[in-house]
Structure 1
């Protein structure tokens, strides 16, 4: 298991200490919705706040992955409950290691369900 798997797995378990163990002290995490969390202390604050108001990671399935040098990438399907609303979306994470820990992680996600284009776009 690489550090990106460990990071994702700890989120699935709602394991704050497990997530923090994968990160450098001065990590930079950019969530797909826009917030940037700088440093493990800020990541811990984010996670405690998110879980504290009832946020829940209901599933996070890695569908493909690759490693190149100190870079890790994964595509995934993410399911969560936020403010009482369940959501599922697809996305990708790009991470960079320093030593054995994640120093940089950025998420990208779809804003709409994917579909096969057949000559016309959905409204």
Structure 2
């Protein structure tokens, strides 16, 4: 069930569907983005989602794998978007904690460069 919720949430960004976001997060949720901003409560999360989608478009958000332990999911992914006319992409990890109602209570994102290099290979 948690896996279905997180997949629907990722898809909500591709579809620009704020209604899914409203259904996904607990009223008291905490969302921490990979580059610093935090949103406290569902109303801030919804406002951020709507504001972001006014300037940007998610082009791809591919889930690579999901790990589940108790009320927590860890999701490895690749994200690509067009934001304010600039296309960018990166790898990332989400750690999502769920409440007893299967809504996200806390979500933290971490980012990694998608382009890798191999300094010790010939």
TM-score over 0.5 for the pair:
yes
Give the Cα–Cα distance (whole angstroms) in 2 for the partners of residues 5 and 102 of structure 1: 12
Task: Report the secondary structure of 2:26's partner residue.
Answer: strand
Change (3 A) 1:38 1:3: same
Instruction: With the length of structure 1 as denominator, give the TM-score of the two structures.
Output: 0.89
Q: Which residue of 2 aligns with 1:90?
A: 91
Give the Cα–Cα distance (whole angstroms) in 2 for the partners of residues 115 and 18 of structure 1: 37
Query: Which aligned pairs between 1:1-123 and structure 2 lie closer than 5 A?
Result: 1-52=3-54, 54-99=55-100, 100-111=102-113, 113-118=115-120
Give the Cα–Cα distance (whole angstroms) in 2 for the partners of residues 48 and 66 of structure 1: 29
Structure 1's consecutive aligned runs of 4 or more residues displaced over 4 angstroms after TM superposition are: none
Cα deviation digits, residues 52-81 of structure 1 (max 9, x gap):
2x2111110001111100000110000001
Q: Structure 1: any 5+ residue segments left out of the alignment?
A: none
Q: Structure 2: any 5+ residue segments left out of the alignment?
A: none
Determine if contact 2:89/2:114 at 8 Å carries over to the other structure. Answer: no
Shift of 1:16: 0.8
Task: Report the secondary structure of 1:2's partner residue.
Answer: helix
Shift of 1:83: 1.2
Shift of 1:5: 1.5
